[in-house]
Amino acid sequence: MIYYFKLLLLLITLIVATPLVADHSVPHSLSKSTVIEKIIIVGLKRTKENVVRRELLFKENDILTTTDLLESVRRLKNLRIFSKVLPLLKLKEHNRIILTFEVEEKWTTIPYFNFSGGGDTIYAYAGIYDINSFGRYIETGVQYDNWDGESGGVVWFRDPRFLNMRLLAGADLWSTTRPRTLFTPAGKKQGQYILSQKKINLIFEKEIKEWLQFGITLELRQSQIIETSMTDLIDVSTSSLLTNKGQTNQIGSTLSIHLGNLNYDNYLVKGKKTSLYVKYAGDETGSDETLKKIEWHNTAFWRLPYKANIGFRFNAAAIATNNIQNYFYIGGFENIRGYFDGQFRSKAYWQVNAEYRIPSFQHNWLVIQHIFFLDAVNASNHLDELKNINDTVYSAGTGIRIISPKIYGFNGRLDIALLSSQKTQSFVSFGAQQFF
Neighbouring CB atoms inside 10 A of 152's CB total 18
- The set of residues, in sequence order, having a beta carbon less than 8 Å from that of 62 and lying 6+ positions away, is 35, 36
Strand pairing category for 96-105 and 367-380:
unpaired
DSSP 8-state symbol, 63: B
> What are the two backbone dihedrals, phi and then psi, of residue 134, each rounded to the nearest 5 degrees?
60, 15
- Structural domain boundaries of the chain? 34-105, 109-432
Residues pairing with 416 in the sheet: 398, 428
pTM metric for this prediction: 0.84
Neighbouring CB atoms inside 10 A of 148's CB total 16
13-22, 108-117, 182-191, 357-366: which is most confident: 357-366
Strand pairing category for 411-420 and 428-432:
antiparallel
- pLDDT at residue 278 in the model: 98
- pLDDT at residue 422 in the model: 82
- pLDDT at residue 11 in the model: 40
- Average pLDDT score over residue span 123-144: 93
Asked if the model's pLDDT at residue 3 lies above 60, the reply is no
- pLDDT at residue 275 in the model: 98
In 259-279, which positions are buried (b, 16+ CB within 10 angstroms) versus exposed (e)? ebbeeebbbbbbbebebebeb
Give residue 14's pLDDT band: very low, low, confident or very high (50, 70, 90): very low
Per-residue pLDDT tens digits for 337-363: 989 888 999 999 999 999 999 999 999
- pLDDT at residue 332 in the model: 77
Report DSSP letters for 245-290, one per residue: -S-EEEEEEEEEEEEEEEEEETTEEEEEEEEEEEEEE-GGGT-SS-
Per-residue pLDDT tens digits for 286-295: 899 899 999 9
- pLDDT at residue 115 in the model: 67
- Average pLDDT score over residue span 198-216: 97
Report DSSP letters for 35-61, one per residue: EEEEEEEE--SSS-HHHHHTT-S--TT
- pLDDT at residue 425 in the model: 61
Per DSSP, the three-state class of 117 is strand
User: Are 431 and 114 within 8 A, CB to CB?
Assistant: yes
Asked if the model's pLDDT at residue 4 lies above 70, the reply is no
- Average pLDDT score over residue span 195-215: 96
CA distance 34 to 63: 5
- Residues of the chain above pLDDT 90, percent: 66
Its CATH architecture, for the domain 109-432, is: Beta Barrel (2.40)
Closest CA to 277 of 316, 311, 312: 316
More confident residue, 338 or 14: 338
- pLDDT at residue 116 in the model: 56
- pLDDT at residue 15 in the model: 37
The rounded Cα 382 to chain-centroid distance in angstroms is: 27
**Of 133-142, 207-216, 234-243, 398-407, the least confident:** 234-243
Give residue 114's pLDDT band: very low, low, confident or very high (50, 70, 90): low
Environment class of residue 121 by beta-carbon count within 10 Å: exposed (0-12), middle (13-18) or buried (19+)? Answer: buried
The rounded Cα 68 to chain-centroid distance in angstroms is: 28
User: Are 315 and 351 within 8 A, CB to CB?
Assistant: yes
- pLDDT at residue 279 in the model: 98
CA distance 340 to 40: 53
- pLDDT at residue 23 in the model: 37
Phi-psi region of 46 (alpha: psi -120 to 50; beta: other; left: phi over 0): alpha
Neighbouring CB atoms inside 10 A of 199's CB total 16
Closest CA to 103 of 150, 61, 56, 148: 56
CA distances from 6 to 2, 302, 313, 422 (A): 6, 19, 17, 20
- pLDDT at residue 18 in the model: 35
The rounded Cα 415 to chain-centroid distance in angstroms is: 18
CA distance 385 to 344: 14
Give residue 110's pLDDT band: very low, low, confident or very high (50, 70, 90): confident
Asked if the model's pLDDT at residue 312 lies above 90, the reply is yes
CA distance 117 to 123: 6
Neighbouring CB atoms inside 10 A of 30's CB total 18
Its CATH architecture, for the domain 34-105, is: Roll (3.10)
